[in-house]
Structure 1
């Protein structure tokens, strides 16, 4: 059985969605206009992106080709994620988990057009990318709500999950092209900036710093990351 068909990363991804859903459960409609660590994005904009990405990855796992339209942000309103952000997140998370499990059983390669890939990639890589997105965006949501530290602590309590997260984060290129404006992550914060750069902190905080997010956001001098 190939690496793509092994269930480990798929089930770790399912766990990441469970942790993220617990965070999104705390979002109420009156809080959707709060700022987030993603530059210029409110919680409403961030959740529209997250739900849209879950729909896009599910379509890819079911065999969709390189159609960027499938990755569009979810429309605001119509229950996605306007008045029921938690419901929209959980519904699309269930659909995505099922799609990844089906793809793993079929040993299917998937298209990820947002990454500008020119051919389908192994499923385990795609699942890893979305695991990273899920946990980082869970922190973005929690940070906007003032509870960011709880996400890192929850992930670090699960050794297999934090190990998978670190492995994927370390594989993200930190080049001007990969970290340009509009890409998923900003330039990594340089070492030597103390706790603000995740130095001396836990592995989750170091992942945030690697991906251009200040673990101390919204503290003094905190800068926004990418979306």
Structure 2
């Protein structure tokens, strides 16, 4: 069965929400594979990004820069699970509007078609979902077929980004027979343990 980029995004956002729901109260200050962020800051980064993209895709002004800084923003409020699920819902609603995938939008990395914006958010959900799972002792169970599409998109995009501007750490090796999630996170600079 073939799925659309919007369906892929909705699936990975829901699964990322399940990971957020699995964070124990004593884990919010724990470190993550994103060494600059703890668990709360990592989730805040994703929620703020989802809100930013939803606003841009609706034709609204993006949130102010401080609202996007995971160390400053109160993006999660008192209920991180509700904040993530609401931001995910709003993003899926924004990308589901007629014509959005064919339009061009200005996002922080430049001007992109709507379908690329959808795929960028899927990359964020999967990779940071993996980060969150690692940090909190959970399993990231994103479907291999979706992760494979995210991996292919990421490979193509990284080929066009100058090495000094990449938003990720340098790529790391992954075994050729590694599952798509391990290949993806290694491509985006995470060490893969087998």
TM range (shorter): 0.7 to 0.9
What TM-score does the superposition give when structure 1 sets the normalisation length? Answer: 0.74
Gaps of 5+ in 2: none
User: 1-side partners of 2:147 and 2:94: how far apart?
Assistant: 23
User: Who is 1:36 aligned against?
Assistant: 32
Whether 1:187 aligns to 2:170 is: yes
* Shift of residue 70, structure 1, vs aligned partner: 8.6
User: Who is 2:192 aligned against?
Assistant: 215
Whether 1:49 aligns to 2:45 is: yes
Is the Cα–Cα contact under 8 Å of residues 53 and 72 in structure 1 kept in the other structure? yes
Cα RMSD (Å): 2.5
| Structure 1 pair 32–106 and aligned structure 2 pair: CA distance change class (3 A) | closer
User: 2-side partners of 1:123 and 1:104: how far apart?
Assistant: 9
User: 2-side partners of 1:71 and 1:109: how far apart?
Assistant: 24
| Structure 1 pair 63–40 and aligned structure 2 pair: CA distance change class (3 A) | same
Q: Which runs of 4+ in 1 moved over 6 A?
A: none
Structure with higher Rg: it is 1
Match of 1:144 among 128, 131, 135: 135
| Structure 1 pair 70–105 and aligned structure 2 pair: CA distance change class (3 A) | farther
* Shift of residue 44, structure 1, vs aligned partner: 1.1
How many matched pairs? 189
What TM-score does the superposition give when structure 2 sets the normalisation length? Answer: 0.85
User: Who is 1:194 aligned against?
Assistant: none
Deviations 1:162-220 (Å, cap 9, x if unpaired)?
232121121232642233xxx3x11101x4xxxxx34431111011111111122xx9x
